[in-house]
Amino acid sequence: MLGARSRRTSPGAPIGIDPARSAVRLTEVTKEYGRGPSAVVALDQVSTGIAAGSFTAVMGPSGSGKSTFLHCAAGLDRPTSGTVQLGGQDLGELDETQLTRFRRTRIGFVFQAFNLLPSLTVEQNITLPLRLAGTRTDHDSVGSVTAAVGLAGLLGRRPAQLSGGQQQRVAIARALITRPEVIFADEPTGALDPDTAEDVLALLRQAVTDLHQTVVMVTHDPVAAQHTDLVVFLAGGRVAGRVDAPSAAQVKSVMTELRRNH
Ligand code: ADP
Ligand code: MG
């Protein structure tokens, strides 16, 4: 049911995703929290596609539905109605066990707070998704991923012995190790100083450009959005616009407009 991923060749090779295909597609996705008069409609009939091999930012005022969008798109939460397809798989068709396995093998996550396991070394943190998925750890692919994120000399350290930027690099390496269909990042630079944030954004960009990954990032930072190919704006739980090849100034002005009107 999960479908064979025949396009995967070796772990070091780019995934040959058809660029014309959406890596993620939401169709009329509505998410309500609660019921009756106190119900909150966090997403309201959202339909949008995320192109494979693209770096997309999701932006919008506080409470506009960004986290809910990310959680529904990544199969961490289920929509009240509508469908989410990821890599051609309708997530609504999967039961909880299948969905958990799907997330482990086909989706990568990067969080604001890094979410590394403090008792594990850098190398063990990075290879954790492989162990959870029951996949054999391929030392060549660990080597190429850690080299790509600039962690080669730090594999034996624990997270507490790393800077914030280094910890986020570990988290990105952990997200890359399974070569997932999509990497979802929720405010990945929110806890970092501006210079370190730039490094992390450059690394996510590199994952898209060099490794042909697809990255979807929630951010409130117009400078961060500038690194992406496309910004999808949410307001009041709806898609309020899209900007291709965004500049920080453009993004800032749309955000100001959305805050004024919502
Ligand atoms: P954002 O990430 O853009 O700030 P969220 O997706 O977190 O927005 O929230 C969208 C709306 O849904 C907000 O009105 C928020 O209060 C509401 N909401 C989010 N999560 C829950 C929840 N678990 N229970 C009730 N309401 C929620
Ligand atoms: Mg949020």
**What angle do the packed helices 164-176 and 194-209 form, to 10 degrees?**
20
What pLDDT, on the 0 to 100 scale, is given for residue 138?
Answer: 79
- Phi/psi at 215 (nearest 5 deg)? -125, 130
> What ligand has the least distance to the C-alpha of 33?
1
Is the distance from the beta carbon of residue 65 to the nearest atom of ligand 1 less than 6 Å?
yes
Q: What is the position in ligand 1's atom list of the atom closest to the CA of 234?
A: 3
CATH superfamily of 6-261: P-loop containing nucleotide triphosphate hydrolases (3.40.50.300)
What pLDDT, on the 0 to 100 scale, is given for residue 9?
Answer: 35
Query: Is a pLDDT exceeding 50 seen at residue 234?
Result: yes
Q: What percent of the chain has pLDDT over 90?
A: 81
Cα–Cα distance for residue pair 137/195, rounded to 1 Å: 33
Return the exposure string of 71-93: e unless at least 16 CB atoms fall within 10 Å of the residue's CB, then b: bbbbbebebeebebbbbebebee
Max Cα distance, the chain (Å): 56
> What ligand has the least distance to the C-alpha of 71?
1
**Segments making up each domain of the chain, as ranges:** 6-261
Higher pLDDT residue, 2 or 114?
A: 114
pTM of model > 0.85: yes
Centre of ligand 2 to C-alpha 64, Å, is 8
Q: Are 26 and 82 in contact (CB under 8 A)?
A: yes
Q: What number is the average pLDDT over the span 17-43?
A: 87
Q: What number is the average pLDDT over the span 43-68?
A: 96
What pLDDT, on the 0 to 100 scale, is given for residue 135?
Answer: 83
Helix (H) or strand (E) holding 166: helix 164-176
Q: What number is the average pLDDT over the span 84-92?
A: 96
Is the distance from the beta carbon of residue 30 to the nearest atom of ligand 1 less than 6 Å?
no
Cα–Cα distance for residue pair 6/16, rounded to 1 Å: 10
Query: Is a pLDDT exceeding 70 seen at residue 13?
Result: no
Residues 197-210: tens digit of each pLDDT: 999 999 999 999 99
